[in-house]
């Protein structure tokens, strides 16, 4: 079996970051914060986080922060909780969470939801926006009790899309910032449970098709809130281990092609519900290693496809979950190296 081409992958990740004119950099421009999280966490798992200039990264992250406290995918873009979590995760990697005004970030996560509600009453929304220099800052001064959606769900930004991804992101972010008590956890859990399907899986909204990505979000959110007892572990474990196909790779739902990224979404979920022994780990390791570009570095979705940072990260993270030798261990719920999570919760 091929080995993990550690040095090549490190070189590839550092090159993507430097080469701003490449196709990959250009198409990822608006979600560079996610890219930073994928690339830097992969580097940390590979033991090479010290090859980046910390001050440069932190200074760029802070330039992506908005008055509201939230972060955008790059400088000059709109804030969204997806990017806010990535920013918080990268700061955690570098042990730099202290640069944050935690109340401000937390309030932003809460405010997004209220803004969405106000938008439903457009006249009210418009009158607020026109009378505020910063609508988010003003909204944070409004009644806190109304900040979470009535049904416990979360929106991603002021435009109101609801998705269990955002429930996970809000819960993970607030948990890292040690202020989970700012939301109604009971309602958040109840909303997630309303997205559970008869097959044991979870979708993005109630009645939505079970998908491994959404399952990670729901199981992760339940794990972070101490609510895994609501999951039928055997039923969900069965659905998840059925995702392994002949090549050893995992798909995200029935009849779909395998993709390296599901080595994270499926495997982390199986670990959280204690059913990871139901898949063939050796075959999955082989599938991930077969997706490497052993000459130029990087990992692709399937063997012989073009590599990218997203698949490189989830390939390395999957191998870490599979205890591949030489890699740092990753926490399946926080999606951060275990030593980083321990530092957040157990140091001084």
Chain residues binding ligand GRG by CB under 6 A are 82, 165, 168-169, 213-214, 216-217, 252-253, 256, 259, 261, 265, 335
Q: Classify 206 as helix, strand or coil.
A: coil
Dihedral through CA 300, CA 239, CA 37, CA 329, nearest 10?
Answer: -100
The residues, ordered by sequence, that sit 6+ positions from 274 with a Cβ below 8 Å of its Cβ are 233
User: Closest separation between CB of residue 285 and ligand GRG, Å?
Assistant: 20
For ligand GRG, the nearest residue by Cβ is: 213
Closer residue to ligand GRG in complex, CB, 165/196: 165
For the chain, what is the radius of gyration of the CA atoms? 20
118 or 318: whose CB is closer to ligand GRG? 318
Tell me how far, at minimum, the Cβ of 215 lies from ligand GRG, in Å: 9
Note the Cα 206 to chain centre separation in Å.
Answer: 21
Q: Would you list the DSSP string of 315-329?
A: HHHHHHHTT-TTPPP
Instruction: Provide, rounded to whole angstroms, the least separation between the CB of residue 260 and ligand GRG.
Output: 10
Q: Nearer Cβ to ligand GRG, position 139 or 330? A: 330
Residue 308 CB, shortest distance to ligand GRG, in Å, is: 12
Find the shortest distance in angstroms from Cβ 169 to ligand GRG: 5
Residue whose CB is less far from ligand GRG, 135 or 309: 309
Please identify, using beta-carbon distances, which residue of 293 and 308 lies nearer to ligand GRG.
308
Question: Rounded to whole angstroms, what are the CA distances from 116 to 139, 170, 180, 182, 197?
Answer: 11, 15, 21, 18, 27
Q: Of 191 and 265, which CB lies nearer to ligand GRG in the complex structure? A: 265
Closest Cα partner for 94 from 341, 340, 332? 340
Query: Which stretches of the chain are assigned E, i.e. beta strand?
Result: 330-331, 336-337
**Minimum distance from residue 211 beta carbon to ligand GRG (Å):** 6
Cβ closest to ligand GRG, residue 135 vs residue 291: 291
**Cα torsion angle, 34, 38, 44, 47, sign:** negative
Nearest distance, CB of residue 259 and ligand GRG, angstroms: 5
């Amino acid at each position: 079996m091929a080995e993990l081409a550690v040095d090549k992958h490190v070189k590839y990740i550092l090159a993507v970051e430097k080469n701003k004119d490449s196709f990959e950099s250009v198409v990822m421009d608006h979600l560079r914060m996610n890219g930073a999280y994928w690339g830097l966490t992969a580097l940390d798992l590979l033991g090479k986080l010290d090859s980046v200039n910390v001050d440069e990264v932190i200074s760029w992250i802070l330039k992506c922060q908005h008055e509201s406290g939230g972060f955008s995918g790059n400088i000059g873009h709109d804030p969204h909780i997806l990017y806010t979590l990535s920013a918080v995760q990268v700061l955690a990697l570098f042990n730099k969470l202290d640069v944050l005004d935690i109340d401000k970030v937390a309030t932003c996560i809460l405010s997004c939801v209220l803004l969405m509600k106000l938008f439903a009453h457009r006249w009210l929304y418009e009158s607020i926006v026109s009378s505020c220099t910063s609508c988010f800052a003003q909204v944070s001064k409004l009644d806190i009790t109304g900040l979470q959606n009535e049904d416990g769900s979360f929106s991603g930004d002021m435009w109101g899309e609801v998705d269990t991804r955002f429930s996970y992101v809000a819960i993970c972010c607030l948990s890292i910032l040690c202020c989970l008590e700012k939301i109604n956890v009971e309602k958040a859990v109840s909303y997630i449970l309303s997205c559970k399907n008869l097959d044991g899986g979870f979708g993005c909204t109630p009645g939505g098709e079970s998908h491994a990505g959404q399952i990670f979000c729901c199981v992760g959110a339940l794990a972070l809130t101490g609510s895994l007892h609501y999951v039928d572990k055997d039923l969900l474990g069965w659905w998840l281990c059925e995702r392994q196909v002949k090549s050893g790779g995992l798909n995200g739902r029935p009849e779909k092609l395998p993709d390296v990224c599901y080595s994270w979404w499926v495997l982390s979920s199986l670990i959280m519900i204690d059913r990871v022994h139901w898949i063939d780990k050796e075959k999955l390791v082989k599938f991930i290693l077969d997706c490497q570009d052993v000459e130029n570095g990087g990992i692709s979705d399937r063997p012989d496809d073009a590599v990218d940072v997203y698949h490189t990260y989830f390939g390395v993270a999957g191998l870490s979950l599979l205890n591949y030798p030489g890699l740092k261990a990753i926490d399946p719920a926080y999606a951060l190296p275990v030593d980083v999570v321990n530092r957040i919760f157990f140091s001084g």
